[in-house]
A = this chain, B = another copy of it.
C-alpha cells in the first residue's frame, strides 16, 4: 500500500505538484474548476499531508509545547484542558512535558526547542528554577514563550497569573477573623513566584493585625514524603502549635489532613485550614476544605490565546504583558468557628 502524496495526486490529475499544493490551500491563483477536481480526488484517495515536510519547508510546525512540573494535580490538569481546548480549535497540536520540579529537566526540555520543533511554549516553572536564562534564550531565537502561574518576576515575558498576593492576604485575614492567633504558612519551594507572592500577602495580613511574623511558622516542605511528615508533624505537635494554616499548594493541605487524622488534631476546632486548591472534592472532605480556588481552566485558555497571538504575529504591542485572573475564596467547614 503506497503512501499517497502530492505527487500521486498531481500525476493522477495530469497537473503539476505545485498546482495541486496551491489548490489544496485554496489559493486564489487557482481556477475554481481545478480546485474542485483536486479536492475531490484528495478526498477520494484520503490524502493527508505530511506535516514534517510542511514544517520543514514553512519553518512553522503548528505544534506548541506545554511544560509543567506535574500533571497529577487538579490545577495543572485543568490548565491543560484549557490549553488543549484552544489549541484544538486553532488547529494546533500540543506536546506535553513534565519537569518533576527539576531545573535540569526543564533546561534539557527547553534546549531542545531551539530546534524549531515547536512554534511556541507555555511553561509553569519548576520549584528549583531561580533564573530563566534557558527561557529567554528561546525568546531571543524568536520563539514565543508564555509563563503561567509559576512565573519569574524579573522579566517582561507575557505572564498569566492569578492574584496570589491578595489571595494570600485574604486567606490569612479569613483565619484571623476566625480567631486564629498562631497562623502557619505551608509551601513546597520558597523560590517559586506563587510562594513568594502568597507569603507576602500572608505577612501583610499578619502585620496589619499587628501579629508577630514567626519564621518557624513558615514551612517549606521538602520533596521526600517521609521528611514532609516529620517536619509538619513537628510543627503540629510542638509546644506552640499553630491554630491556623494557609496551605499555599494543594498537596500540603492534603498532607495536613492526613497528619491531623493520624495525630487526632480536630479540624477546625483545634486547627483551621485554608488552601490554594482546585480539588473537585474540596467540599466533600472531612471537614470540607476552605479554598482559594484558582481559575485554572481560564488561565490555561488565556495562556494559549496569548501564545497564539504571539505566534501568529498579531499586534503584540496591544497585548498586556501580564494578565491577572482573580481567584475566589470559598469558605467551608475547615475554617468554621465553633457556634457560640
Contacts and interface: CB of A to CB of B under 8 A. Distances in A.
Given A258-B283, A284-B285, A48 B84 contact: no
A91 to B, nearest CB: 10
Nearest to A117: B51
Interface stretch (A75-83, A158-166, A196-204, A317-325): A75-83
A51 B61 CA distance: 10
A293 interface: no
A48 B81 contact: no
Contact of A72 (B63, B77, B97): B77
A94 interface: yes
A284 B286 contact: yes
A156 interface: no
Interface string A253-290: 01001100100000000000000000111011111100
Nearest to A112: B48
Interface stretch (A14-22, A52-60, A169-177, A186-194): A52-60
Contact of A50 (B49, B111, B116): B116
Contacts of A1: 140-141
B48 A56 contact: no
Number of copies of chain A assembled together: 2
Interface residues of A, number: 52
A46 B288 CA distance: 52
A157 interface: no
Interface in A14-67: 46, 48-53, 55-56, 61, 63
A50 B206 CA distance: 53
A93 B95 CA distance: 7
A130 interface: no
Interface of A: 1, 3, 46, 48-53, 55-56, 61, 63, 71-74, 77-78, 80-81, 84-85, 88, 93-98, 105, 111-112, 114-117, 140-141, 254, 257-258, 261, 279-281, 283-288
9 contacts: A50-B56, A52-B116, A52-B117, A53-B56, A71-B71, A80-B96, A254-B280, A254-B281, A257-B281
Given A71-B81, A254-B280, 5 more contacts: A48-B112, A52-B117, A84-B97, A93-B117, A286-B287
